[in-house]
Amino acid sequence: MKVRKISGALGAEIMGVDLTKELTADLVKEIRDVFLNNNVIFLRNQPLSSQQFMNFARSMGKPVEYPFVKGFDSFPEIIEVKKLEHERSNFGGVWHSDTTYLEYPPMGSMLLSKEIPPYGGDTLFACQYAAYETLSDTMQRMLSGLRGISSSAKADVSKTREDRIKTDGKDSAPKNFTNSHPIVRTHPETGRKALYVNVAHTTGIEGLTEAESAPLLSFLFEHQVKPEFTCRWAWEPDTLAFWDNRCTMHNPINDYHGFKRVLHRITLEGDKPI
């Protein structure tokens, strides 16, 4: 196994691993270590069946169903993340951490690319360790103990789900989820602190009025995606990306109108942020 870092802040490509084959316990641990040290990992040339994709996901955590979109009949934890030729909005097309509006947001998410446009459709990732650690001591103290309110109904992201809900939506899905989590969370495995707000889902701060919370959140939203905290991944077919949702945000770029883009996603169960 070889590892190539792709930016100073986060991101690493793993080479020399074939996920179509059964992984040894030692190799699983090596991959997990690279994941924890780099926030997001990428593996090219992985022509995985749904079962093989699920096998790898289970080696890293517990797959769970996405609340709004139906998965495959045989693999309900796998959903299609797609934009069709006639569609203008892409799924999740805004900076975010996945489903922070849940009481137990996911530990991580995986995407496996199936059909990629001839250009565009890259995904940006942002390290929230770096975003927190570069704040002033005074700002860090001020944020300590504050809780952000997350909603699944915030317009910035709900409009990016509309096409998929029309075609693949769950009839049983609630219309809205709302939960609050620490604005600064401590990673349960690394012990490092990370910013845990995002423009897609965070609607306010507990105990503050909208007028009081809006300028603080606006500053954090802008700060946490500074270029020096990010990496950018250009997809190829049969590439797998796996990111740590507890300390990483992502943003799929919507710059390929007229072309189809299809990826398969698995979300892994997480714990309650502290």
| Pairing label, strands 2-5, 12-15 | antiparallel
161, 187, 201, 250: which one is catalytic? 250
172 by Cβ neighbours in 10 Å (0-12 / 13-18 / 19+) ranks as: exposed
164, 181, 187, 265: which one is catalytic? 265
Alpha-carbon span 243 to 39, nearest angstrom: 6
Active-site residue flag, 250: yes
98, 164, 185, 246: which one is catalytic? 98
Active-site residue flag, 98: yes
- Other C-beta atoms closer than 10 Å to the C-beta of 215 total 9
Phi/psi of residue 200, each to 5°?
A: -75, -35
Active-site residue flag, 181: no
Contact 274, 185 (CB under 8 A): yes
233 by Cβ neighbours in 10 Å (0-12 / 13-18 / 19+) ranks as: buried
Active-site residue flag, 223: no
Active site positions, annotated: 96, 98, 250, 265
